[in-house]
Amino acid sequence: MTMSRPSQRRWLGAALLGLAAACAQVLAAESGGSAKNGSQEEEPNTLILSDTLHYDDVKRQSTFTGNVVMTRGLMTLHADRLEMREDAEGFQYGVATVNAGNRVYIRQDRPETFEVIEGRGQRGEYDGKNEQIDLIGQAVITRFVCGKPFDSISGQRIRYNQKTDTYEAFGGPDSAAAGGRVRSLAVPRARTDAAVQACRKSQGASQGGQASPAPQQPAPAR
């Protein structure tokens, strides 16, 4: 199933692009270079906590293992293992994986609209050459507004293509939706806008907003 519905595409892309941007930033920092086609504007710092780190300068590859927590600006990623590499042409690739029973967790905060976007899957992949980001296995992406769930999509694989600004969701035996199907829920834009305004009013944040309240969540990577 391929979709390009503007409202849902925007929030889905924001979540998956967080993984892509973080991979490119870390590779650039560790190799001493800059990400291909990277912006000249100041980028946020990337912090990665892990039990171990192995960096191979010849292969231009970094491997983080053990309770990996990556933070880049307002994006956070949790995994058990994170591998990032750069090919000879300067394209970046990243793979986030977890131990059996866990799921990769991506969170993107959008304080200006009181939104939190969460993505979960058994594996996360970023292909810089083809400009594609995937969540694979029990994949779910949900948008929260003022702490309450609104839009969501679930399936076996969710893919976002930066070149075409579209996404695809695929069902299968390892789908997070019942019956191996793809499940997509899109709340009307009017309801979303009303929730944002109500949240802004209740928090007295008419001058630009404050940090959105975090939805209740289990241990991210578990």
Per-residue pLDDT of the chain (222 residues; tens, 9 = 90+): 444 444 445 555 555 665 565 555 555 555 555 445 444 556 678 889 999 999 998 888 999 999 999 888 888 999 999 998 889 898 889 899 999 999 999 888 888 888 888 889 999 998 889 888 899 999 998 889 888 998 889 999 998 887 887 788 999 999 999 999 999 998 888 888 899 889 888 877 444 444 444 444 444 545
Per-residue pLDDT, 215: 45
Does residue 42 lie within any of the structural domains? yes
Does residue 160 lie within any of the structural domains? yes
Per-residue pLDDT, 28: 55
Domain span at residue 134 reads 2-202
Per-residue pLDDT, 181: 97
Does residue 88 lie within any of the structural domains? yes
Cα torsion angle, 109, 65, 45, 56, sign: negative
Per-residue pLDDT, 51: 98
Tally the domains of the chain: 1
* Number of other CB atoms surrounding residue 156 within 10 Å: 23
Per-residue pLDDT, 35: 47
Is the CB of residue 64 less than 8 Å from the CB of residue 50?
yes
For residue 136, the domain's CATH number is: 2.60.450.10
Does residue 217 lie within any of the structural domains? no
Does residue 215 lie within any of the structural domains? no
What is the rounded distance in angstroms from the CA atom of residue 69 to the CA atom of residue 65? 10
Helix (H, G, I), strand (E, B) or coil at 119: strand
pTM for the full model?
Answer: 0.75
Per-residue pLDDT, 221: 46
Does residue 218 lie within any of the structural domains? no
